[in-house]
Amino acid sequence: MAYAIADSGTTIVIADRDHTTVIDQARALPEVDPVREWVWLDEIASFGMSVETDVPAAAIDERDAHIILYTSGTTGFPKGAVMSHRAHILHAMTFALHVGAHSDDVYLNVYPLFHTGGTDCALLPYHFVGATVVLLRDPRPDAILETMARHRVTAMMAVPTIWRRLVDAPGLGTRDLSAFRRAMGSSDAMPLDLLEQVMTRFDATWTQTYGLTEGGCILTYLPPADHTRKIGSAGKAHAQADLLIADPSREADPDWPTGPGHRLPPGETGEVVARTEHVMTAYWGRPDQTATSVRNGYLRTGDFGYLDDEGYLFISGRLKDVIISGGEKIYPAEVEPLLRTYPGIRDLALVGVPDREWGESVLAVIVPSEAPVHHGVAEWSADGGAAFDADAFRQWARSQVAGYKVPRHVVLVDELPRTTGTGKVQ
């Protein structure tokens, strides 16, 4: 919090008293010296009475800055993405249209409000159509299910981590969730088994999306009619977005990614770039990083992906996540969904580790379904056998993927480290 306050130059902080300890700790840090007012939510009324009733006129343009949203920071310190009034309204309209938001909806928001999923995919679009938005402070499975039943929730978006916890929750079958109609997801593609469980157990349709904070936020939608036919896809770009796959090897060209030969044909993997009216204005206070991220009007997403012959987007992974082993490129996001289907795996992530012979080799970090883990290795069962057989897993993997994509190393852990707002693996 102190970092965001200092980076943004915040002068007024409004907080709930539940965060008293954190606020007290922050106020003791030199980074927050620019703050002039610390205001508790329950004091807003009295604070407002001290302000002049004659508010000075101010000319506000639709392209003026409206909010600074900080990125999740999986690759370093978070950067503040500046969003205009125009960007927020256009995105709210587009989102509401594509997900079928209606005035009689009751939407449950399980994202933090500092995250684009909380503001751009919950508050703004559903308020735009006159719907009700329920805010949940702590997105525990039991709290989510209880809130869905009590408020007759009709729609909710969540990352796969949350949906997995919900379908595994012991109290799911005891709740009256008959009002629920639309389930949605973002950040990561839904595994087929999880998608089928969500649709069956919640008796709801599914819409998959793809976006990022800097994009303001959602760029593509996969509607319910396509979720099975295009499983694994993030959908097609909406009408306000021009999305293409650019050749990253040509990024030094001054006119990249709009010049001849920059746009890759269907089926070829490259960097996902997009142009839209609701993209961020800039990174707050970072003109050089803004210039690097927005090239000739196109936002660099930092994601690798490809378009199929119908224009559906498939994400292959982050640019920084690519593993190069023996000269071959391995995109974890392409391989991980398949490897997760192996019996006994609850979660899995692939990373590259230094390899003297191959440059890099693949390390699979696995969360077993049942086996307890101690200090990064599997506990041994009473009969002397391993709770998870890494050799059997690798042998199976060789029958599923190309040899250079098979993990050479396996580490078992209790859980994967994930970001707070999106559940992305760090």
**What integer pLDDT is reported at residue 383 of this predicted model?**
34
Nearest to 210 by CA among 199, 222, 223: 222
Cβ neighbours of residue 389 closer than 8 Å, sequence gap 6 or more: none
Per-residue tokens: 286: 């970072």
Q: Which amino acid is at 5?
A: I
| Residue 347 resides in a domain | yes
Mark whether 255 and 115 lie in a shared domain. Answer: yes
State pLDDT tens for residues 261-316: 999 999 999 999 999 999 999 999 999 999 999 999 999 998 889 999 999 999 88
Percent helix, strand and coil across the chain, each to the nearest 5: 30, 30, 40
Q: Which amino acid is at 209?
A: T
Between 380 and 266, residue with greater pLDDT: 266
Q: How many CB atoms lie within 10 A of CB 390?
A: 16
| Residue 180 resides in a domain | yes
| Residue 130 resides in a domain | yes
Per-residue tokens: 367: 């969360």
Helix spans in 123-272 (H): 124-128, 141-151, 160-168, 192-202
| Residue 425 resides in a domain | no
Cβ neighbours of residue 307 closer than 8 Å, sequence gap 6 or more: 244, 245, 266, 267, 313, 314
State pLDDT tens for residues 141-156: 999 999 999 999 999 9
pLDDT higher than threshold 70 for residue 382: no
**What integer pLDDT is reported at residue 221 of this predicted model?**
96
Query: pLDDT exceeding 90 applies to what percent of the chain?
Result: 60
> Final residue of a domain: which of 271, 289, 318?
318
Q: Which CATH number is 400's domain given?
A: 3.30.300.30
Mark whether 345 and 299 lie in a shared domain. Answer: no
Mark whether 301 and 250 lie in a shared domain. Answer: yes
Mark whether 392 and 293 lie in a shared domain. Answer: no
For 112, counting Cβ atoms within 10 Å of its Cβ (0-12 exposed, 13-18 middle, 19+ buried), the class is middle
Q: What is the DSSP string of 373-385?
A: EETTEEPBPTTS-
pLDDT higher than threshold 60 for residue 380: no
Q: How many CB atoms lie within 10 A of CB 197?
A: 18
Helix (H, G, I), strand (E, B) or coil at 23: helix
| Residue 196 resides in a domain | yes
Q: What is the Cβ-side half-sphere exposure of residue 167, based on CA atoms within 13 angstroms?
A: 19
pLDDT higher than threshold 60 for residue 373: no
| Residue 128 resides in a domain | yes
For 359, counting Cβ atoms within 10 Å of its Cβ (0-12 exposed, 13-18 middle, 19+ buried), the class is middle
Report d(CA 141, CA 334) in Å as an integer. 29
Report d(CA 173, CA 170) in Å as an integer. 7
CB 367 within 8 A of CB 415: yes
Per-residue tokens: 160: 């796969």
Lowest model confidence (mean pLDDT) among 234-238, 249-253, 259-263, 313-317: 313-317
pTM of the shown model: 0.77
pLDDT higher than threshold 90 for residue 1: no
pLDDT higher than threshold 50 for residue 375: no
Lowest model confidence (mean pLDDT) among 17-26, 71-80, 256-265, 306-315: 71-80
Nearest to 234 by CA among 267, 189, 264: 189
Q: How many CB atoms lie within 10 A of CB 187?
A: 20
Strand partners, 13: 38
Helix (H, G, I), strand (E, B) or coil at 186: coil
Domain that holds residue 342: 322-412
Helix spans in 317-389 (H): 332-339
Mark whether 207 and 296 lie in a shared domain. Answer: yes
Residue 365's pLDDT band (cuts 50, 70, 90): very high
Mark whether 135 and 241 lie in a shared domain. Answer: yes
Nearest to 211 by CA among 96, 116, 306: 116
> Final residue of a domain: which of 295, 318, 341?
318
Mark whether 296 and 332 lie in a shared domain. Answer: no
Q: Which amino acid is at 156?
A: M
The CA–CA distances, whole Å, from 291 to 230, 269, 300 equal 34, 24, 10
Mark whether 8 and 124 lie in a shared domain. Answer: no
Per-residue tokens: 337: 């969904």
Mark whether 205 and 305 lie in a shared domain. Answer: yes
Mark whether 127 and 263 lie in a shared domain. Answer: yes
State pLDDT tens for residues 164-204: 889 999 889 899 999 999 999 986 667 778 888 999 999 99
| Residue 56 resides in a domain | no
CB 182 within 8 A of CB 223: no
Residue 2's pLDDT band (cuts 50, 70, 90): confident
**What integer pLDDT is reported at residue 8 of this predicted model?**
94
Query: What do you get for the CA distance between the two ends of the chain, in Å?
Result: 19
Q: Which CATH number is 88's domain given?
A: 3.40.50.12780
Residue 260's pLDDT band (cuts 50, 70, 90): very high
Query: pLDDT exceeding 70 applies to what percent of the chain?
Result: 88
**What integer pLDDT is reported at residue 56 of this predicted model?**
67
Helix (H, G, I), strand (E, B) or coil at 272: strand
Mark whether 27 and 170 lie in a shared domain. Answer: no
For 291, counting Cβ atoms within 10 Å of its Cβ (0-12 exposed, 13-18 middle, 19+ buried), the class is exposed
Q: How many domains does the chain have?
A: 3
Per-residue tokens: 78: 């978070």
- Chain mean pLDDT for the chain: 87
Q: How many CB atoms lie within 10 A of CB 401?
A: 16
Per-residue tokens: 139: 């997105």
Quickly tell me which residue has 């990249």 as its tokens: 256
Mark whether 117 and 93 lie in a shared domain. Answer: yes
State pLDDT tens for residues 101-129: 999 999 999 988 888 989 999 999 999 99
| Residue 98 resides in a domain | yes
Per-residue tokens: 358: 């191959």
> Final residue of a domain: which of 318, 343, 362?
318
Residue 374's pLDDT band (cuts 50, 70, 90): very low
CB 2 within 8 A of CB 13: no
pLDDT higher than threshold 50 for residue 160: yes
Nearest to 88 by CA among 78, 96, 98: 96
CB 271 within 8 A of CB 293: no
